[in-house]
Amino acid sequence: MTIKNTFYTDWDCESIGERHLPENEYRNAFEIDRDRIIHSTAFRRLQGKTQVYVTGQSDQYRTRLTHSIEVAQIGRSIVNYLNRSSDILTGEYQIDSALVEAACLAHDLGNPPIGHKGESRLNELMDPWGGFEGNAQSLRILTDIVRGDRRSYTNAGMQATRACLDGILKYKIVGKENTPNGAKFLYPDQQDILSWVHNDQHLDDLAQNGTQIRPIECAIMDLADDIAYTTSDLFDGVKQSLLTPEQVQQFWSNQYLDASNKIKADVDQVLRNQFPMSRFIAGLIGRWIYSISIEKIENPFINIPRYKYGLKMDDESHSELMALRSLNYSLIYNSDYVKNPESKGVEILEELFRYYRDVVFEKQRELELLPLPAGMSTEFDENQKMRMICDYVAGMTDNHAIRLHSYLKVKAP
């Protein structure tokens, strides 16, 4: 493939598995990554998965799908702004917006039903078989499940590019047992993929020791995610009247003294219906994007443009982001409105997982409408069987899990 954008090399565009493309293919390698993600079943299922508020509580809340679309839009806007404003980047040497968009669209593919609480509980349930982690599951979907036949990494998955896979890898420690808190890891059988992405044992070793090794596209995706969920979760919380001016004022006074007078006044105006919430959020996102820049890294981990630059947000904007994120954690995520449906959903997830586990190990009979995952084989070892069970349960939408659980409760002996 001829690359006009010299920010990327043939090595960045190499795919994990062979791509069979027509001679007149009009897309670049990263546009293909993005398109395959959008047309995947895993991406469509995000429409029925909880972002913060369990799906069904209201028809106006963000789901994982709408959140991912918003992350992609913000990520693309950050790229467009940097490409047009930075003295470092030019027309023939710039960050590819389709690559960042692909990473943003894929970043939550592996998240299970019932949001982060569901992820934490699945991690506990899967502890004897390597645990569960949303980012690792996203990688598994891209390399083993989407378009795949599960026989090998050359035949399975969407044959993503090296740069695309690197763009979603926020965490690169392999093995749950090697992390300080049992979270933010890759599965043991993903070591080969990480080694292919890095192509450098020294980098694998550094990552295993906890060193953060991320390309610029991953940094943009991560910041776009922070901006998106902080603003949208606040938006949905205000719309549901989960916050009062008095609560927020008390929070600023007692728990977060570092908030600027501007952000406190702006939030107060919104809560008192003196300024439209939508305009407040739009203004915030725009101002934060304008505050972002890139800077050259002295000693990059890999001597290619993706690793030569770091992302920077000015202090005022970063302070505002941290203040609103802390506000969300304290007053929204810990509210009964969020926590009570979450708790019920986690119970459903746990019972479904245990049911399928017991069927696999012949401790429970299989019910008619609760078949085992397609492709389950008696030739698989215990770890392979449980990973497939985990794939199956994690892939469910909230409503599908609730329906299956209802059937299980009625029919189970």
Domain ranges within the chain, ordered by starting residue = 10-208, 216-331, 338-411
Please tell me the predicted confidence (pLDDT) of residue 19: 85
CATH for the stretch 10-208: 1.10.3210.10
Tell me how crowded residue 377 is: count the other CB atoms within 10 A of its CB: 9
Torsion, Cα 281 283 289 290, to 10 degrees, reads -170
CA angle 338, 344, 350 (to 5 degrees): 125
Question: What is the model's pTM?
Answer: 0.94
| pLDDT for the residue 55 | 56
What is the number of helices (H) and of strands (E) in the chain?
19, 2
User: pLDDT tens string for the chain (413 positions)?
Assistant: 445 899 999 999 999 988 888 889 999 999 999 999 999 999 999 998 887 765 555 556 788 999 999 999 999 999 999 999 999 999 899 999 999 999 999 999 999 998 888 999 999 999 999 999 999 999 999 998 876 554 444 456 899 999 999 999 999 999 999 999 999 999 999 999 999 999 999 999 999 999 999 999 999 999 999 999 999 999 988 988 889 999 999 999 999 999 999 999 999 999 999 999 999 999 999 999 999 999 999 999 999 999 999 999 999 999 999 999 999 999 999 988 888 888 998 999 999 999 999 988 887 777 776 777 777 777 888 999 999 999 999 999 999 999 999 988 877 65
Res 152: pLDDT? 44
Instruction: Give backbone dihedrals phi and psi of 90, rounded to 5 degrees, phi first.
Output: -135, 180
pLDDT given for residue 60 in this prediction? 66
The helix/strand/coil state of 363 is: coil
Strand stretches in 232-307, DSSP E: 292-296
> What is the per-residue pLDDT for 153?
42
Q: Are 166 and 155 in contact (CB under 8 A)?
A: no
Question: Is the Cα torsion angle 184, 189, 190, 194 positive or negative in sign?
Answer: positive
How high is the pLDDT of residue 58?
55
pLDDT at 360: 87
Phi-psi region of 203 (alpha: psi -120 to 50; beta: other; left: phi over 0): alpha
pLDDT at 151: 45
